[in-house]
Amino acid sequence: MAASDAGLVQVVDVHKSFGRLEVLRGVSMTVGRGEVVCLIGPSGSGKTTLVRCINHLERIDAGRILVAGESVGYRERNGRLVEESDAIIAARRQNIGMVFQRFNLFPHLTALENVSVGPLRVLRRGRGEVYVEAKELLSSVGLADKFDSYPAQLSGGQQQRVAIARALAMHPAVMLFDEPTSALDPETVGEVLDVMRKLAKGGMTMIVVTHEMGFAREVADRIIMMDEGIVVEEGGADEIFARPEMERTKAFLRAIL
């Protein structure tokens, strides 16, 4: 089955433990091309671990993860998962953009250089075309006047927008967001969410871990509620927020809305 038929991102019965703590207990989900899926649930439910596993920043113990039809991080040999080489993992990651809670910008590089570093060093593209595209990306996230600014000269919201532009510079098939506004001051949250709304409207496939319920309700095509390492419930945003079926989902939404 082609990736377009099966889903751009496929997570199949994924398990992940840290020592004796089982963080993911058989999680499965499919994300279609152009779909926006928000992962909600209490802290410790496994949401962040799941998105880190999709990008192979965490190793899985069992199951399968495919992006654009290709396994991420592993191949199967005699019924067992065998980790791929670093080179193959790096090639697979080019399809996956990741935006973290903390911005993880290079402090010694300007905004323009931060956005350009991946295409220059990983994709080996020419500096001239990379810089032109990086300026376009920074302009698209509202930072046309910050090309030469260093991270320390930028607000948290501006740094996070640079981080989004940096991820987009690799032309990923899917963007992963791990609570991208949780480290921001309240007045800068909106500017980052606005950029994410624009991406969603433009058809970018997105998996978003978020506690911003208003954003999730407005933008998500589908909501996945997680708790204690499993998918408790999933459905359309209106369906989950207005008519949740599972008691755990109802209790969570009552506590935060």
Phi, psi values for residue 206, rounded to 5°: -140, 135
Indicate the DSSP class of residue 84.
Answer: P
Q: For the whole model, what pTM was predicted?
A: 0.93
Cβ–Cβ under 8 Å, residues 93 and 65 = no
CA pair distance 137, 94, nearest whole angstrom: 17
Q: What are phi and psi of 24, to 5 degrees?
A: -120, 125
pLDDT at 2: 37
Please say whether the beta carbons of 31 and 8 come within 8 A.
yes
CA distances from 197 to 4, 90, 247, 253 (A): 23, 28, 30, 22
pLDDT tens for the chain, 257 residues: list them. 334 456 899 999 999 999 999 999 999 999 999 999 999 999 999 999 999 999 999 999 999 999 999 999 888 888 788 899 888 888 888 899 999 998 889 999 999 999 999 999 988 999 999 999 999 999 999 999 999 999 999 999 999 999 999 999 999 999 999 999 998 998 899 999 999 999 999 999 999 999 999 999 999 999 999 999 999 999 999 999 999 999 999 999 999 98
